[in-house]
Structure 1
């Protein structure tokens, strides 16, 4: 057996192992920067006020693990920041954490909120042309709402956290041999008095596809709507939306 034959067999074995490894198990790691516009408001009762918020760049990180074991779901964990702040001239009286802010008062509002998602899902279709995932998402919302009167320095802070279960799905299409693809991904459900939706639409381009790692850039739009009623004593009707850019690694 000559050296050329041995090299060909070694290369073929390596390609076969890589293909099998990718079929049997794969890890996806991604990060996104999200330019966010925010509308709505919050309170510690049902009487929420509408606030003005400045645009802000938020971030999102995720890790997903896919495998070949039958009946065992794949898993994805993601964490998204949804921070916002602004100054509002109140049009009506507003009560928050025991303090009353009268109409025509300027208040500074600051919302620090994160969403940590634990997603369990099945791949119903998965090929170069079409993919479709379906599962459930336990969304853990953790945050702090604050309001401060700019003149009197009167302020109030409300901490809260809780889990909101949602449905999860992802649909993707691809153009084979081009590196181009697109996907729609979302979590959504109305549960008790909470209504929450989180969806994104994006086009992607895989600019590196190798035996060791695939690298893909993403460009898309994301919308998160958070309507919570007495989640650990917090009430909110907030909508976050804007464009995002991201990078994903597939091992």
Structure 2
């Protein structure tokens, strides 16, 4: 009986030590990663000068992936990386002459376009609030916008332009949780407005935490995302485009 009691004491002590170690590890270093499927609509147009041609774009399925690393070191910001595809295609019939690449497309020409665009966000942020009820993150971001645009008319004449630029932006994220339910709401975005250039990328939605353990939490998300860009002369590209639509996501918090 004495051996059984000793064994029980050892098991209880070992379990307590393990739980304490896991809690301390989570306090010292943590983070999250996730993925989203985005049902995206696109509107607007582009050009190589201020005479932007509008296109009728098709709805597309795109994706976003992100990961963040958080720590308790004072004054040192946390790090987050996010990558989003915004590929789309569309067509238009020109009202006026349209210059793009090395081609001149005349009025009444029918054009097809293929846009392959990726946005990569490099984010540094501080956690001003961090609890199960409310979180608030504030920081700065550098958004790398890169891609390729191809335009083809009905006669097979083709023009192509590539672009790659870095855009400084402000960053914010807020989330609220409903205790004991696993339900929450959140909003997150990056923003810029300088002179004639503006760029807004935000999302908002609801979340449900369906797995919660000492090692990892798993959350599903349902929401709406909108990306609006009005840029002048980004690698000789002028654009006024909006991408928006519903998304479904999953996030792992460790």
The C-alpha deviation readout for 1:211-240, integer Å capped at 9, x for no partner, is: 222111111100001111001111110000
1:116-131 aligned at under 5 Å gives the runs 116-131=120-135
- In the aligned structure 1, how far is the partner of 2:127 from the partner of 2:31? 14
Residue 95 (structure 1) aligned to one of 89, 92, 99: 99
> Is 1:42 paired with 2:46?
yes
Is 1:165–1:191's contact at 8 Å kept on the other side of the alignment? no
Residue 242 (structure 1) aligned to one of 241, 245, 249: 245
Residue 75 (structure 1) aligned to one of 71, 75, 79: 79
Structure 1: stretches of 5+ with no match in the other structure: none
Shift of 1:249: 1.1
Shift of 1:194: 2.1
Query: In the alignment, what sits opposite 1:186?
Result: 189
Query: In the alignment, what sits opposite 1:6?
Result: 10
TM-score normalised by structure 2 residue count: 0.95
Q: How many residues align?
A: 250
Query: In the alignment, what sits opposite 1:104?
Result: 108
The C-alpha deviation readout for 1:97-137, integer Å capped at 9, x for no partner, is: 23222232211111111101000000001111111000000
- In the aligned structure 2, how far is the partner of 1:104 from the partner of 1:15? 71
Query: In the alignment, what sits opposite 1:22?
Result: 26
Query: In the alignment, what sits opposite 2:205?
Result: 202
Residue 56 (structure 2) aligned to one of 52, 55, 65: 52
TM-score normalised by structure 1 residue count: 0.96
Structure 2: stretches of 5+ with no match in the other structure: none
The C-alpha deviation readout for 1:171-229, integer Å capped at 9, x for no partner, is: 11001222111110000011343210000001111111112221111111000011110
SS at match of 1:173: strand
1:134-213 aligned at under 5 Å gives the runs 134-150=138-154, 152-213=155-216
SS at match of 1:12: helix
> Is 1:230 paired with 2:233?
yes
- In the aligned structure 1, how far is the partner of 2:50 from the partner of 2:67? 36
Change in Cα spacing, 1:9 to 1:177, as seen in structure 2 (3 Å) is farther
- In the aligned structure 1, how far is the partner of 2:81 from the partner of 2:192? 18
Q: Which structure 1 residue ranges, 4+ long, deviate > 3 Å from structure 2?
A: none
> Is 1:219 paired with 2:215?
no
Whichever of the two has the greater Rg, that structure is 2
Shift of 1:59: 0.6
- In the aligned structure 2, how far is the partner of 1:183 from the partner of 1:8? 39
